[in-house]
Amino acid sequence: MTISVVHADVAASPMRGLLPLWVGIGVYTLFLLAGNRLLIDPDTMWQVTLGQWILDHRAVPETDVYSFTMRGESWISTQWLAQAIYAEAYAISGWSGPVVVAALAIAATFGLLARFLSRRLSESATLVFITAALALTMPHLLARPHVLAMPVMVAWFAGLIAAADRHDAPSYWLVPLMALWANLHGGFVFGLVLIAPVALDALLGAQAAQRKQLALRWAAFALAALLASCATPYGWNSLLASQKILALGNALPLIMEWKPADFGGIGPFEICLLLGIGLALYRGVTLPLMRIVLLLGLLHMALAQGRAAEILALLGPLVLAAPLARQIGVAASSPSTAAVPARGALLGGVTVALVAATFAYASVHRFEPHMRGSPVAAVAKLKTLNLTRVFNDYDFGGYLIYAGVPTFIDGRTELYGEKFFVDHNAASGLMEPENLFRLLDEYKIEATLMRTQSAATKLLDHIDGWQKIYSDDIATIHLRKPDAVHTNDPAVAAKTK
């Protein structure tokens, strides 16, 4: 792999420097054409449902209204703005609305990343990083709130890193980004945490005489960002809500996206990691101390939690860009200001073409959530029974909220807490069979809705007092029925004399 740079003596052309635009267009087109892939996560359905509640009530939730186990308990949604945006898009144009909104956010994310990198590295090097980032983020690019926060995260961190590259403090124009991020997704806390190591990087690179004043400017910026993060309907409680997620302890490794990276088979993460190590060894790349700390920190997060691979993919290149540019060449020249009219006309034409193409494609293509893993038929049967206390599989929670059925548990893990989640997991997986019967009795469960192939479902097939009333390839319903008998006392062999 070769990373090259374009020297400043290359003549600028009117169309030079448009790589971010082409990247954005390409990424948007890709995800629009594969739009249903953005809807494969059932959580999208409950996010839209909650967003509609927010729009209907013109308020944000402060207590749980969707489960029967935690109903009335304190709960806030740090993703309320993203949920409202998805709900409004859905109300306007059905499922094509959330698809277009998510595709635009993903395109903006990669366009911003390409813009920052192409100012420091060659277009070929930029495309290498963009391709790797796309491969690593692909599994988690879904029509969910975190996707709407991704361009804000990239713009925020790019602004911090650009200030560190200049050995200066960040612009206060970044502060509104923090306020926006805090209303879109709880990951804004990570954005606050990033201020300290980037500030230290800026201080270590500055002249000794300037460090005190620079430290005060970074501290003032950090304070402004912290105050901006409280500019939500919940105030500083948004910070506390994020702490609840981090305090889930043993529950987090049980959730698929929070599990550690798996190297049991060759995947994009391992390929990118090995290629990056090989490139560093081949080219002798060196980094300043704090850039090493930042990169290793991002790598540790990606190894510890699968969902953090996207953070490494999007922020890692920003950490590397300036040091790489200094070691392997000079940055590409800036586009000529004379090109502004031509570039503006191009941008306008492309925008019109994309809008027209989006309407045309949405009119002939049906966007809809991926239902093959959702208990659609089982829930339809369940609703005819008019039950209110149903023990459900964790993965079915999102669809149950969408269908208007009170849940035992769902994806809002911070609401239920570590013990409740771990107990439910141990019960449904029969790691602790006594937990299953304890929960069924403690919560006066009237029926169960579990995956057909789950251990708990197989056990209830043979337990007196529970009657199977519906089953398909996805879900099975067992109804509590005292006179249901499935077993006979085993015969006792006669004793031989």
Q: What percent of the chain has pLDDT over 70?
A: 91
DSSP 8-class letter at 248: T
Query: Hey, what's the torsion of the CAs at 230, 234, 239, 243, to 10 degrees?
Result: 180
Whether 414 shows a pLDDT value over 80: the answer reads: yes
What are the DSSP calls for 57-100, one per residue? Answer: HTS---B--SBSSSTTSB---TTHHHHHHHHHHHHHHTTHHHHH
Choice between 19 and 250, residue whose per-residue pLDDT is larger = 19
Residue 370 lies in a domain: no
pLDDT of 487 reads 64
Q: Between 260 and 416, where is the model more confident?
A: 416
CB contact at 8 A, 478 and 469: yes
Distances, alpha carbon 219 to alpha carbons 108, 153, 199, 226, 239, in Å:
30, 20, 9, 10, 19
Residue pair 160/170 in contact by the 8 Å Cβ criterion? yes
Q: Is the confidence at residue 79, as pLDDT, over 50?
A: yes
Alpha-carbon Rg for the chain, nearest whole angstrom, is 26
74 pairs with which residues across the strands? 63
* pLDDT top residue among 237 and 223: 223
pLDDT value at 132 more than 80: yes
d(CA 338, CA 340): 6
In this structure, is residue 367 part of a structural domain? no
- Answer left, alpha or beta for residue 47, where phi above 0 means left and psi between -120 and 50 means alpha: alpha
pLDDT, position 240: 80
In this structure, are strands 447-451 and 466-471 parallel, antiparallel, or unpaired? unpaired
**Are both 261 and 394 inside the same structural domain?**
no
* CB distance 59 to 88 below 8 Å: no
Do residues 316 and 442 both lie within one domain?
Answer: no
In the predicted structure, residue 57 carries a pLDDT above the cut 60:
yes
Secondary structure in 3-state letters for 13-51: CCCCCCHHHHHHHHHHHHHHHCHHHHHCCCHHHHHHHHH
Q: Is the pLDDT of residue 7 over 80?
A: no
Which residues sit opposite 479 in a β-bridge? Answer: 447, 467
- Mean pLDDT score, 301-314: 90
**Which residues 6+ apart lie within 8 Å of 446 measured at CB?**
387, 388, 389, 390, 479, 480
Q: What is the DSSP string of 321-348?
A: HHHHHHHH--PPPPPPGGGHHHHHHHHH
The stretch 268-276 carries a mean pLDDT of 89
Residue 340 has a pLDDT of 62
If you average pLDDT over residues 271-284, what whole number do you get?
87
Q: Does 343 lie in the same domain as 415?
A: no
Is pLDDT at 173 greater than 50 in this prediction?
A: yes
pLDDT higher for 497 or 83?
83
By mean pLDDT, which of 76-85, 297-306, 456-465, 483-492 is the weakest?
483-492
Mean pLDDT calculated for residue range 66-73:
94
In a domain, 152, yes or no: yes
Q: For all residues of the chain together, what is the average pLDDT?
A: 88
- With 50 as the cut, is the pLDDT of residue 497 above it? no
| Whether residue 235 sits in one domain with residue 181 | yes
User: pLDDT: is 254 or 193 the higher one?
Assistant: 193
Based on the domain organization, do 415 and 304 belong to the same domain?
A: no
pLDDT at 270 over 60: yes
- pLDDT recorded at residue 255: 73
Q: Which residue has the higher pLDDT, 248 or 117?
A: 117
* Structure confidence at residue 16 (pLDDT): 54
Task: Answer whether 69's CB lies under 8 Å from 409's CB.
Answer: yes
Mean pLDDT, rounded, for 366-380: 88
Higher per-residue confidence, 365 vs 242 = 365
Choice between 304 and 318, residue whose per-residue pLDDT is larger: 318
341 domain-assigned = yes
**pLDDT band for position 338 (50/70/90)?**
very low
Contact 47, 145 (CB under 8 A): yes
What total of structural domains would you count in the chain? 2
321 and 405 share one domain: no
Same domain, 341 and 428: no
Do 319 and 429 belong to one domain?
no
Distance from the first to the final alpha carbon of the chain? 84
CA pair distance 106, 118, nearest whole angstrom: 18
337 and 429 assigned to the same domain:
no
* Residues 404 and 342 placed together within one structural domain of the fold: no
Statement to judge: residues 234 and 332 lie in one domain = yes
| Domain finish residue from 315, 350, 385 | 350
CB-based burial label for 494 (10 Å; 0-12, 13-18, 19+): exposed
How would you classify residue 75: left for phi > 0, otherwise alpha for psi between -120 and 50, otherwise beta?
beta
Distance CA 464, CA 409 (A): 25
pLDDT exceeds 80 at position 8: no
Q: What is the pLDDT of residue 493?
A: 55
In a domain, 8, yes or no: no
Contact 308, 316 (CB under 8 A): no
10 within a domain of the structure (yes/no): no
User: What tokens does 31 get?
Assistant: 């995800």
Q: What is the pLDDT averaged over residues 442-451? A: 94
Range of the domain at 36: 19-350
Mean pLDDT computed over 339-350: 74
> 319 with 382, same domain?
no
The answer to the question of residue 2 being in a domain is: no
368, 95 Cβ separation under 8 angstroms: yes
* % the chain with pLDDT above 90: 62
Buried b (16+ CB within 10 A) or exposed e, 77-101: bbbbbbbbbbbbbbeeeebbbbbbb
Residue 356 lies in a domain: no
